[in-house]
Structure 1
């Protein structure tokens, strides 16, 4: 399958999960993340504000604040398909941005890439070779090209797929957590 077809398949899989299934998976993803040494050792976490069928990141963000971690959220620049992270200290620091996704307000403090200890990378599908399939904008692949910190993704087992097609510009993630635990 090509990437476009795979994106549709991923959305179908996520859309077919019942609300109860999603709640159960969501709770287990959060537990598995919060109990990980990657999470415990990170002082500055990069994370998106979820939208659509993505796993809800709000409670992960709240847990990060509870642990006195710096929370950084991306703001995209569609003109050059780049992305930069900014610190948020409350959800009031967000406003609607690119494609209606919540982003940091211009008053938020820029966080340099090398300050991010852990980057929680979104995606629709993941495979055993650490490849991810996102929404197709390439924002994360561009950002990850010279990112030296740790990367992790949160996904349901239903989001695992064998052999996602990849190109030279597709940057693999380092770690993946599902509802059953660490996959890698």
Structure 2
């Protein structure tokens, strides 16, 4: 089977599972994942982080970003055409809703020097036991992550971790996956 077809089948399966969860369920399932992330040494020792403002089908990062932005520099993605740029999160009032994907994006300063990043916290549709990541299919993160030397941590719900997912040379591996598993 064609690798893109395999990836799309997995995307549809995960989307179906997520569709069975309401917002309250996802928020409840997100809490132990965020706690595991906050207890991770790479996170504890980081001062400059790439993260994301979660969409409604992802591990909820809203409280996490707001909590830690007072003591760490947290940069969030902003969609620019077919690329991502990262902007500093300052506060919830400095966010605006992006029209194409309906994502809230920060209006803070643009990150120009990726060498200052200590840690990248990355969402995904699915991950596997070999730290491979399957995204939404637009390669937004793969394009930017190839130029970031910082540790890359994927965060996800337990059902998003599969034994193996199909990969291509352009897919960027994570250094670690954090879910609610201890």
The residue that corresponds to 1:110 in the other structure is 110
Matched, 1:77 2:44: no
> 2:11 and 2:169 mapped to 1: Cα distance?
19
User: Is the contact made by 2:26 and 2:60 (CA closer than 8 Å) also made in structure 1?
Assistant: no
User: Is the contact made by 1:25 and 1:156 (CA closer than 8 Å) also made in structure 2?
Assistant: yes
> 2:27 and 2:105 mapped to 1: Cα distance?
25
Matched, 1:174 2:171: no
User: Is the contact made by 2:131 and 2:174 (CA closer than 8 Å) also made in structure 1?
Assistant: yes
Q: CA deviation at 1:65?
A: 2.4
> 2:135 and 2:50 mapped to 1: Cα distance?
17
Matched, 1:153 2:157: no
Per mean C-alpha deviation after superposition, the further-off stretch among 81-90 and 121-130 is 81-90
Tell me the secondary structure at the aligned position of residue 99 of structure 1: coil
Within 5 Å, give how 1:86-165 maps onto structure 2.
86-97=87-98, 98-105=100-107, 108-111=108-111, 112-165=113-166
The residue that corresponds to 1:43 in the other structure is 47
Q: Tell me the TM-score normalised to structure 1 length.
A: 0.88
- Specify every segment of 5 or more residues in structure 1 that has no aligned partner in the other structure, as ranges: none
> 2:90 and 2:180 mapped to 1: Cα distance?
28
Q: CA deviation at 1:63?
A: 2.4
> 1:118 and 1:165 mapped to 2: Cα distance?
25
Q: CA deviation at 1:61?
A: 0.4
Per mean C-alpha deviation after superposition, the further-off stretch among 111-120 and 137-146 is 111-120
User: Residues 64 and 129 (structure 1 numbering): CA distance in 2 closer, same or farther, change over 3 Å?
Assistant: same
Q: CA deviation at 1:23?
A: 3.6
Tell me the secondary structure at the aligned position of residue 76 of structure 2: strand
User: Residues 19 and 75 (structure 1 numbering): CA distance in 2 closer, same or farther, change over 3 Å?
Assistant: closer
> 1:93 and 1:114 mapped to 2: Cα distance?
25
The residue that corresponds to 2:35 in the other structure is 31
User: Residues 19 and 86 (structure 1 numbering): CA distance in 2 closer, same or farther, change over 3 Å?
Assistant: closer
User: Residues 55 and 173 (structure 1 numbering): CA distance in 2 closer, same or farther, change over 3 Å?
Assistant: same
Q: Deviations over 1:54-102 (max 9, x none)?
A: 1111111022124x11111111221xx2212111210112112242211
- Specify every segment of 5 or more residues in structure 2 that has no aligned partner in the other structure, as ranges: none
| Count of aligned residue pairs for this structure pair | 176
> 2:25 and 2:86 mapped to 1: Cα distance?
31
